[in-house]
């Protein structure tokens, strides 16, 4: 990579790294796996830098890459994660601690992966509904439905924190 | 959703402090630079037969050329826009010379291709009704989509389409069960004693399905569900009964996968005899995703990292090629042509000794090719674009 392009890559990555780490950690709930996801994403970003940097929205592009690595089950089947869950699937209510930060981590972990993914992409990574749909390869209607289900599940926590 | 709720959740998520990290930007730069400089990876590994394996990463020159001929990115281009920019073949000097056929979606549903047969006749996947619910499976036959009627047990839950054969048979799975689709009917696949979960992964023209079985415990086993013995399931033999996974089966009945979960690339001949495939020094672990005739492709792991790279094996000679600058290889034909790519950017086509990019219909599409035909000219897969007006993501490249 030419040094000016590499300088831009380094600048971007250093600025963005904390947010990417937060996103990976909230998505998968495991620090080691989160590091793997972030490292893999950054290396792929290095390889694809000129294409990524020329995209319409670099942040959204990078978050899409990160989500793909999160969804990566057998490294072939990452997009097999289906975002819909049948109605009436019971989720055990999390035992909330007093510490707000631990609450949100536990609360997110208790959600189905599709709801967790849309909430992290929309409310931490600031992706639009369309960008979120693009990252998860689903319809915008699906994103909206998953968002409202996820928010409904988190509402008691948000109300308590106020 | 109210504004204050948005702010609350946004703020709350931003307070999360992950445990200390081992991610080092400098280490990633080193890895990235090594990849870009690398023209040839020379390593030796002894195959089971004692033949020395010569490997080369063939793409260093291509990568440098591609990066060298593009202008450095400018920060001015990071603006939000909803219109896709030019078709990549105009701007990508390394694009394969292909026309792109976008497959129509079935009425009222967005199709999501998950599997494609090597001939290019059949593709299959899930559908999304746009209201948060999953629709019926979609099967494209010669470019025409149909929705498949499934039993209530499947419609009441969530399913995924795992494989489609050149006869239009499917392997489908739900959280609790797996099925073969043949001749309009879904039949449940049997369980192997001691295992509670069936994971089908590949299907042969004759309807044989391969995959693995596991439980909530740690053991798993590679299996085949023979089409001509409905209700039966057979474990594939491994050294010392080691856990294994079967990922693909070819028209001759040869099966590819891994020992362990990517612990070592592994192939079972049609007669059931299995052997490990070579992994060169500097690499560790691997998996076969596709095989045809004398060729198998998949990935090997880069030692000391979680990175995996594309690999191709010749099953007759034992030779392995590692492509250090490419993502995992996903489908191969009997000629040794193959496609791959993780879907971050372009996919790739290796044919006639060179790598070319497989672009999507819109610039910046994420491409995952799923199949390649015997002549290497018909490739099916998906190309997702962040833009909503890029059309169907389910495509066939005619190269």
The mean pLDDT value for A4-26 works out to 93
Residue A127 gets which letter from DSSP? -
The mean pLDDT value for B171-181 works out to 92
Q: Tell me which of A11, A56, A72 to substitute to probe the interface with B (most B C-beta atoms closer than 10 Å).
A: A56
The structural domains of chain B, ordered by start, are 3-398 (2.130.10.10)
> Where does the pLDDT of residue B286 fall: very low under 50, low under 70, confident under 90, or very high at 90 and above?
very high
The mean pLDDT value for B374-393 works out to 85
The 3-class SS string of chain B reads CCHHHHHHHHHHHHCCCCCCCCCCHHHHHHHHHHHHHCCCCCCCCECCCCCECCCCCCCHHHHHHHHHHCCCCCHHHCCCCCCCCCCHHHHCCCECCCEEEECCCCCCCEEEEEEECCCCCEEEEEEECCCCCEEEEEEEECCEEEECCCCHHHHCCCEEEEEECCCCCEEEEECCCEEEEECCEEEECCCCCCCCEEEEEEECCCCCEEEEEECCCCCEEEEEECCCCCCCCEECCCHHHCCEEEEEECCCCCEEEEECCCCEEEEECCCCCEEECCCCCCEEEEEEEEEECCEEEEEEEECCCCCEEEEEEECCCCCEEEECCCCCEEEECCCCCEEECCCCCCEEEEECCEEEEECCCCCCCEEEEEEECCCCCEEEEEEECCCCCCCCCEEEEEC
Are the Cβ atoms of B23 and A17 closer than 8 angstroms?
yes
Nearest CA in chain A to B26: A10
Are the Cβ atoms of A138 and B18 closer than 8 angstroms?
no
> Where does the pLDDT of residue B91 fall: very low under 50, low under 70, confident under 90, or very high at 90 and above?
low
Of B36, B158, B345, the CB nearest to A51: B345
> Where does the pLDDT of residue B245 fall: very low under 50, low under 70, confident under 90, or very high at 90 and above?
very high
Give yes or no for a contact between B139 and B126, defined as CB atoms under 8 angstroms apart. no
Give yes or no for a contact between B287 and B262, defined as CB atoms under 8 angstroms apart. yes
In the predicted structure, residue B52 carries a pLDDT above the cut 70:
no
Q: What pLDDT, on the 0 to 100 scale, is given for residue B247?
A: 95
Q: What pLDDT, on the 0 to 100 scale, is given for residue A152?
A: 92
B2-16, B37-51, B211-225, B277-291: which is most confident:
B277-291
**What is the distance between the alpha carbons of residues B239 and B180, in angstroms, rounded to a whole number?**
29
Question: CATH class for domain A3-157?
Answer: mainly alpha
Helix axes A140-161, A129-136, angle to 10 degrees: 110
In the predicted structure, residue B1 carries a pLDDT above the cut 60:
no
In the predicted structure, residue A102 carries a pLDDT above the cut 90:
no
In the predicted structure, residue B313 carries a pLDDT above the cut 70:
yes
Please list the residues that pair with B214 across neighbouring strands. B197, B220
Are the Cβ atoms of B130 and A158 closer than 8 angstroms?
no
Distances (CA, A) of A112 to A82, A153, B66: 10, 10, 41
Q: Are strands B338-340 and B329-332 parallel, antiparallel or unpaired?
A: antiparallel
Q: Which of A92-101, B91-100, B238-247, B317-326 has the lowest average pLDDT?
A: A92-101
Instruction: Write down the pTM of the prediction.
Output: 0.82
B residues 173-192 lying closer than 8 A (beta carbon) to A: none
- Per-residue pLDDT of B215-237, as tens digits, reads 876 789 999 999 999 899 999 99
Q: What pLDDT, on the 0 to 100 scale, is given for residue B376?
A: 97
Q: Tell me which of A49, A79, A114, A140 to substitute to probe the interface with B (most B C-beta atoms closer than 10 Å).
A: A79
Calculate what percentage of chain B has a pLDDT beyond 90. 58
Q: Classify B183 in phi/psi space as left (phi over 0), alpha (psi -120 to 50) or beta.
A: left
Are the Cβ atoms of A79 and B9 closer than 8 angstroms?
no
> Where does the pLDDT of residue B6 fall: very low under 50, low under 70, confident under 90, or very high at 90 and above?
confident
Please compute Rg for chain A using Cα positions.
16
In the predicted structure, residue B2 carries a pLDDT above the cut 70:
no
Q: Tell me which of B2, B11, B72 to substitute to probe the interface with A (most A C-beta atoms closer than 10 Å).
A: B72
How far off is chain A from B50, nearest CA to CA, in Å? 30
Check residues B318 and B364 and name the one with the higher pLDDT.
B318
Angle at B150 between CA B149 and CA B154, to 5 degrees: 150
Are the Cβ atoms of B25 and A14 closer than 8 angstroms?
yes
Domain boundaries defined on chain A:
3-157
Are the Cβ atoms of B1 and A148 closer than 8 angstroms?
yes
In the predicted structure, residue B203 carries a pLDDT above the cut 50:
yes
B387: chain A residues, CB-CB within 8 Å: 56, 130, 134
B159: chain A residues, CB-CB within 8 Å: 82
Predicted-complex ipTM score = 0.83
Calculate what percentage of chain A has a pLDDT beyond 90. 32
How far off is chain B from A65, nearest CA to CA, in Å? 6
Q: What pLDDT, on the 0 to 100 scale, is given for residue B73?
A: 31
Of A50, A54, A78, the CB nearest to B67: A50
Distances (CA, A) of B149 to A80, B138, B155, B178, B181: 20, 10, 9, 16, 11
**What is the distance between the alpha carbons of residues B384 and B215, in angstroms, rounded to a whole number?**
34
Q: What pLDDT, on the 0 to 100 scale, is given for residue A49?
A: 87
**What is the distance between the alpha carbons of residues A29 and A94, in angstroms, rounded to a whole number?**
14
> Where does the pLDDT of residue B57 fall: very low under 50, low under 70, confident under 90, or very high at 90 and above?
very low
């Amino acid at each position: 990579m030419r040094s000016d392009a590499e300088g831009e890559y380094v600048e971007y990555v250093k600025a963005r790294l904390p947010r990417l780490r937060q996103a990976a950690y909230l998505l998968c709930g495991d620090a080691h796996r989160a590091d793997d996801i972030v490292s893999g994403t950054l290396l792929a970003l290095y390889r694809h830098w000129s294409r990524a940097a020329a995209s319409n929205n670099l942040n959204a592009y990078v978050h899409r890459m990160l989500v793909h690595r999160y969804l990566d089950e057998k490294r072939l089947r990452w997009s097999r994660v289906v975002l819909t869950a049948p109605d009436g699937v019971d989720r055990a209510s999390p035992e909330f601690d007093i510490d707000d930060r631990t609450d949100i981590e536990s609360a997110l972990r208790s959600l189905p992966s599709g709801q967790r993914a849309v909430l992290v992409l929309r409310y931490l990574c600031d992706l639009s509904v369309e960008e979120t749909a693009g990252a998860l390869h689903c319809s915008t209607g699906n994103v909206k439905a998953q968002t409202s289900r996820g928010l409904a599940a988190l509402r008691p926590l948000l109300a308590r924190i106020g | 959703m109210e504004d204050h709720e948005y702010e609350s959740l946004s703020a709350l998520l931003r307070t999360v402090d992950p445990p200390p990290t081992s991610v080092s930007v400098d280490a990633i730069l080193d890895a990235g630079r090594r990849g870009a400089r690398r023209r040839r990876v020379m390593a030796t590994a002894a195959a089971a037969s004692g033949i020395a394996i010569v490997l080369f990463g063939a793409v260093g020159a291509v990568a440098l050329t591609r990066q060298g001929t593009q202008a450095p990115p400018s920060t001015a281009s990071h603006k939000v826009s909803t219109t896709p920019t030019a078709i990549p073949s105009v701007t990508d000097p390394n694009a394969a010379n292909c026309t792109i056929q976008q497959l129509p979606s079935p009425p009222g549903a967005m199709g999501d291709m998950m599997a494609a047969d090597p001939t290019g006749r059949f593709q299959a996947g899930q559908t999304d009704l746009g209201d948060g619910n999953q629709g019926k499976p979609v099967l494209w036959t010669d470019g025409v989509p149909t929705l498949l009627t499934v039993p209530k047990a499947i419609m009441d839950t969530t399913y995924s389409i795992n494989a489609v054969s050149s006869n239009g048979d499917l392997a489908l799975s739900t959280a609790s069960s797996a099925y073969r689709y043949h001749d309009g009917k879904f039949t449940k696949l049997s369980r192997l004693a001691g295992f509670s979960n069936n994971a089908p992964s590949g299907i042969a023209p004759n309807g044989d399905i391969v995959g693995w079985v596991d439980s909530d415990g740690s053991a798993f086993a590679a299996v085949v569900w023979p089409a001509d013995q409905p209700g039966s399931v057979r474990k594939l033999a491994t050294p010392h009964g080691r856990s294994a996974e079967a990922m693909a089966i070819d028209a001759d009945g040869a099966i590819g996968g891994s020992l362990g979960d990517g612990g070592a690339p592994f192939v079972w001949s049609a007669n059931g005899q299995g052997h490990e495939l070579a992994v060169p020094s500097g690499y560790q672990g691997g998996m076969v995703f596709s095989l045809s005739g004398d060729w198998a492709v998949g990935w090997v792991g880069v030692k000391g990292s979680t990175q995996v790279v594309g690999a191709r094996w010749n099953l007759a000679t034992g030779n392995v090629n590692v492509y250090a600058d490419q993502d995992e290889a996903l489908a191969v034909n009997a000629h040794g042509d193959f496609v791959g790519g993780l879907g971050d950017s372009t996919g790739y086509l290796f044919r006639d000794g060179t790598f070319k990019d497989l672009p999507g219909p819109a610039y910046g599409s994420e491409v995952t090719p799923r199949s390649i035909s015997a002549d290497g000219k018909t490739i099916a897969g998906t190309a997702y674009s962040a833009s909503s007006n890029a059309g169907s993501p389910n495509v066939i490249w005619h190269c």
